[in-house]
Amino acid sequence: MADERREASMDADALYLEEVFTDRKVGMLRRMTPMTKDGTPDSTRRVLYIGQAEIMTNMGPMPINFEIEADTFAQAIAGFGPAAAAGIERTVQQIQEMRRQAASQLVVPGAGMGPGGLPGGMPGGLPGGRGKIQMP
């Protein structure tokens, strides 16, 4: 196999200055200001606002990130709640879908298993197919 080491390099055309704001109660708001490679604001791209909130799961707190559609900082603050609710709902639906998919996987005991439940046996679960139940 070829050695596929890749050098990490930043995309000079996709730089952002990240500022983080928080009320220390509900979550965080990130203002992502586009920058040029010389470190000056890039007025050809729009400022992005990213929110972050946490939901409690049975495995502990889970961060939820979501984009807030806004043209100004004040609009982003006002839009935090609705965007957080939509982001949390989307995440809950994704978790439920993953659970549904995991639960719907069909498990056939002994299919293709050898002694002790290890893969590689013949039909019937034992080498040579000598299991008690035989399928035609």
Q: Does the predicted TM-score (pTM) go above 0.75?
A: no
Rounded CA gap, 115 and 130, in Å? 11
Over the stretch 68-101, which tens digit does the pLDDT of each residue have?
Answer: 999 999 999 999 999 999 999 999 899 899 989 8
Over the stretch 36-55, which tens digit does the pLDDT of each residue have?
Answer: 999 999 999 999 999 999 98
pLDDT given for residue 110 in this prediction? 59
Task: Give me the residue spans of the domains in the chain.
Answer: 15-103
Over the stretch 6-29, which tens digit does the pLDDT of each residue have?
Answer: 889 999 999 999 999 999 999 999
Question: What are 28-33's contacts with CB under 8 Å, separation 24+?
Answer: 28/52, 29/68, 29/76, 29/77, 29/80, 31/73, 31/76
